[in-house]
Structure 1
Amino acid sequence: MPEDGRVAVARRVLFPPRRGGTAPCLGDVSCIQSTLRYSGIASSQPKKSCPPLGYIIPHMAQASPVSPAFPILLAPAGSLPAVEAALSAGADAVYVGVRSLSRGGRAGLPLESIGTAVSVCRRAGALLHAAVNAIPPTGELPAFLASLRRLRDAGIDEVILNDPGAVALVRRELPGLPICASVGLSVMNPEDARAYRELGADAVVLPSAVRPEEIPPIKRASGLRIEVFAHCRPEFLLHGKCGLTGYAVEGAGGGTASAKRGGSCRFVCRSLPVPAAAHSLVDELPVWIAAGADVFKIEGRELPPPAVAALTARFREKLDAARAPSAG
């Protein structure tokens, strides 16, 4: 413990220190600090009982949850029946949206049902991740944290966050809750990944524009668990960055342009002349496994249970086939 009595947050699994024992680098520190201030989470205004964020980050043990020995299959669900469908089709983990905490207009479970979903997953030996990818305005931060505490107490295995300030806040206030940096944060290179690692993320969802040869340097630089989309709709913008709904659909956002700030996603991309074929790694899984992907994620929380089951079963079969050669 430091002489002044402050306590540094220690992560659960030790990660080898960087060469020379140098303090972590935050990448573009000024950018991150600006984002924290914009989000109402200024490091200069910490909770009284907590050490300043500027102290926690340099003293944080560099750690990450242990990556799985073989990649896991993460399936979507927008309802309890969809959770069960994903598990019955072979998902290792399921992610759900949380109503009022996820991007507007997308399928999700009420907060009160998360505990039930956790129990369903536990009985199947699976994990439950919760998408909390709506960005809270400053005045709603106390309610946001209260909801995150309820999710933690319900037993979720990971929370998916879509704002750097939220990542820093949740790491500071809920140090034991694993955090995944959402695809909407657009982590594209080793420095991006390292910055989110040092803000407090344990995992990151890479945009579909990232190629397999880019994974090893990202993983080495950050120690993050790497999630990639095995199946998702095509994006004509960088994945997770679309803001068209509030502009292209009259009244879609109810006065709010962004689905991340209370508007609704109306899937404008599906009405525009973009490629109809889904982005799919179904025939490339061995390449991505060799590159170091830890999680293969299927997009589609809005899908009905039969569609969730069909997609999950297809990728389960392909992943099992990719594992077979090493089994002998």
Structure 2
Amino acid sequence: MEMKRAELLAPAGDLEKLKTAIIYGADAVYIGGEVFGMRSAAKNFSIEDMAEGVEFAHARGKKVYVTVNIIPHNEDFKYLDEYLLELQRIGIDAIIVSDPGVISVAKRVVPEMELHLSTQANTTNFESANFWYNQGIKRVVVAREMSFEEIKEIREKTPDDLEIEAFMHGAMCISYSGRCLISNYMTGREANKGSCAQSCRWQYYLMEEKRPGEYFPIYEDERGTFFFNSKDLCMIEHIPELVESGIMSLKIEGRMKTAYYVATVVRAYRMALDAYYEDPENWKFNPMWMEELKKGSHRHFTTGFYLHKPGTEDQNYESASYVRNYDFIGVVRGHDEETGLAIVEQRNKMSVGEDIEIMAPYKETMYAKILEMYNEDGEPIESAPHPRQIVKMKLDVPVEEDYMLRKPIEEKIDN
């Protein structure tokens, strides 16, 4: 009997990212509406965009989950019934919840809706998992502060039909499961309602109480210290352990990230997971997958709590910035029927004669040269410097719709 495959779950901050995630290999996506979600800075989805996204996903056998996981106050319940009914109407596959009040309303208003318990509920033990199962929860998103051994024990001591979901890639929060007040205190932006300013990643100094106004830097190097600044979680080298621990949904963080980031990360994990299921006993980590991950914006990587409790090596004391080694320069939108040239939507400047890389779903990276470029009027051009400029392009390798073009940045920079 073929083993049940773990789900690859990707973030989608808007409709373009939803479609990109599914095209590049996600089995499901999680999104936020314009209310009740934990990422208010993301573009998020109108009901109309949600409906289009659900239709796109379901046509390809994929699922869409919606976050309803803020820590709500009384006024937040005013429109919750109506919102849940809208989600049910458009065919959302599950809602991600964290608050008992929201769960109670959901069970009353949309009793057939599948409920997933958010990591915001910080489930770290099997007793809590069983409690939530008895409240009607179908899936528990365990806290990030969990080891493989702890997750295995939860799996062993909970009902078989309670699914376990866990983050395997993306930003790590300095606070327990993201329940943080630093942003609210520093900026008035409430993290628990989706407006985190990531104040923890700022540079800080010490001040001795009897010397007001005298600020003492804590030097890790000449740039200062970022002592609340965790490295990003990355578990691509540990696919067997993830699957064999009983996790049924492997989650990527990043609803505020770009479509290129989503495509890069989903594609790498899709290749790693497919290789595992093709031959679990002989699976070997391919360094190419890690190299692909590093071609998207990222912080340095850590395995978080999975293997051991994080120490100083899991913090990034040098910079709060992302490492960016590649520019995403364009996405293929189709082909010109008369000339056969690729129609490309520009995302960063590109020029004739440049050597570029082409990223495609379910395929290894291709290498190409831009041979010719034309504007929308068919006039030859040497470069495409304008944001989202539509160009027709001749390359020395064949490309298809939704392929992404990128090029290395000559000198590695932080942004």
- Short-chain TM bin: 0.7 to 0.9
Question: Which residue does the alignment assign to 2:140?
Answer: 204
1:144 & 1:243 partners in 2: Cα distance?
A: 24
User: Which stretch shows the higher mean deviation, 116-125 or 211-220?
Assistant: 211-220
Whichever residue aligns with residue 30 of structure 2, its letter is: Y
Whichever residue aligns with residue 259 of structure 1, its letter is: A
Question: Which residue does the alignment assign to 2:66?
Answer: 130
Structure with more of its chain in helix, by fraction: 1
SS at match of 1:134: coil
1:1-328 superposed matches below 5 A: 69-103=4-38, 105-107=40-42, 108-223=44-159, 224-249=162-187, 252-253=188-189, 258-261=190-193, 264-271=195-202, 272-326=226-280
C-alpha displacement at 1:139, in angstroms? Answer: 3.9
Whichever residue aligns with residue 267 of structure 1, its letter is: Q
Structure with more relative contact order (C-alpha pairs < 8 Å, separation 6 or more): 1
SS at match of 2:176: coil
Indicate conservation of the 8 Å contact 2:6/2:243, yes or no: yes
TM-score by length of 1: 0.73
Alpha-carbon displacement from aligned partner over 1:56-114 (angstroms, at most 9, x marks no partner)? xxxxxxxxxxxx81101000000111011111110000111111221253311123321
Alpha-carbon displacement from aligned partner over 1:13-45 (angstroms, at most 9, x marks no partner)? xxxxxxxxxxxxxxxxxxxxxxxxxxxxxxxxx
Cα 1:283–1:96 change in 2 (3 A) is same
C-alpha displacement at 1:191, in angstroms? Answer: 0.8
1:139 & 1:83 partners in 2: Cα distance?
A: 30
Indicate conservation of the 8 Å contact 2:34/2:40, yes or no: no
C-alpha displacement at 1:212, in angstroms? Answer: 1.4
1:111 & 1:273 partners in 2: Cα distance?
A: 40
Indicate conservation of the 8 Å contact 1:105/1:266, yes or no: no
SS at match of 1:284: helix
Largest Rg, 1 or 2? 2
TM-score by length of 2: 0.58
Cα 1:242–1:150 change in 2 (3 A) is same
Indicate conservation of the 8 Å contact 2:69/2:97, yes or no: yes
C-alpha displacement at 1:286, in angstroms? Answer: 0.4
Indicate conservation of the 8 Å contact 1:133/1:182, yes or no: yes
C-alpha displacement at 1:211, in angstroms? Answer: 1.2
1:104 & 1:307 partners in 2: Cα distance?
A: 17
Indicate conservation of the 8 Å contact 2:17/2:262, yes or no: yes
1:103 & 1:109 partners in 2: Cα distance?
A: 13
User: Which stretch shows the higher mean deviation, 177-186 or 122-131?
Assistant: 122-131
SS at match of 2:131: helix
1:321 & 1:215 partners in 2: Cα distance?
A: 23
1:313 & 1:99 partners in 2: Cα distance?
A: 28
Cα 1:222–1:141 change in 2 (3 A) is farther
Whichever residue aligns with residue 72 of structure 1, its letter is: E
Q: What is the total number of aligned residue pairs between the two structures? A: 254
Cα 1:116–1:230 change in 2 (3 A) is same
C-alpha displacement at 1:220, in angstroms? Answer: 3.7
Whichever residue aligns with residue 266 of structure 2, its letter is: T
| Cα-Cα RMSD | 2.0
Question: Which residue does the alignment assign to 2:376?
Answer: none
SS at match of 1:84: helix
Structure 2, unaligned stretches of length 5 or more?
A: 203-225, 283-415
Indicate conservation of the 8 Å contact 2:10/2:21, yes or no: yes
Whichever residue aligns with residue 243 of structure 1, its letter is: L
Alpha-carbon displacement from aligned partner over 1:264-319 (angstroms, at most 9, x marks no partner)? 21122332433553111111110121111100000000011011100111111111
Q: Percent identity?
A: 28
Structure with more of its chain in strand, by fraction: 2
